[in-house]
Structure 1
Amino acid sequence: MDDHAVRAAAMINDIQGHLLVAATLDEARGAAARLTGRLPWLTDSQQTELERLFEEEYVSLARTSWQRTAQRAGELRAEYLQAYRVLRRRLVVICLLALAGGLPAVTAAWADRC
């Protein structure tokens, strides 16, 4: 990847992040308004404060969820990369055995691995 492609990918990631945060803030505001709408006895200042606190908590929970998802994605990537390396190593060994000793050696090697 050239420098231009890397910068473009980074910009796209930034835009997606901003859009995700904006959508989450909209969801938080809507959920806060629905909550305070069910509490008609609140004064205007109480309603405003409750909505603000609810929005903060909503966004905080969303951020925590995103962080956990990113962490798990990293863990899965590492697991799959390790599995890929093992499979690739096995394939190389099988190909080398096939070149060196023919099909019986490959069959025996494969049976030992499975």
Structure 2
Amino acid sequence: MTAMDERGADARALVRDLEGLLLVEAARAESRAAAGRFTGRLPWLTDSQREEVERQYTEEHMVLTRRAWDRTAARSRELRAEYEEAYRVLQRRAFAWCLVGAALFMGATLELSRGWG
């Protein structure tokens, strides 16, 4: 691996990390907004109670979001493995049919050359 390759890999890793951080921050903002909407329907809460409910709601929402992401990632890995296996099977079949076609072509060529000779 060259220095350019390493820098490219580092840059890709940095971009992935940044995307991850942005995604988490967006989920956190969404959780806080949902918590605010929830406590908005509870007008009898004091300010400190409202803050505590919003904090706990936000934490729980983030836990649920993380679980959903984990399930999605796991399913993505499963599907990738399934598709890669299907692709390998198709590659083997295509290669086998190419060999059959080449053998038939060679057989036909030999048979034709015998008829002309």
TM-score (norm 1): 0.86
Moved over 2 A (4+): none
Letter in 1 for 2:20: G
Give, in angstroms, the shift of residue 83 of structure 1: 0.2
Hey, what does 2:38 align to over in structure 1? 35
Hey, what does 1:77 align to over in structure 2? 80
Gaps of 5+ in 1: 103-114
Gaps of 5+ in 2: 106-117
Letter in 1 for 2:38: L
Whole-Å Cα distance in 2 between the matches of residues 5 and 74 of structure 1?
24
Identity in percent: 53
RMSD: 1.4
5 Å-filtered alignment, 1:57-72, equals 57-72=60-75
For the pair 1:6 / 2:20, whether they are aligned, the reply is no
Give, in angstroms, the shift of residue 30 of structure 1: 0.8
Higher RCO (Cα < 8 Å, 6 or more apart): 2
Between the two proteins, the alignment pairs up a number of residues equal to 103
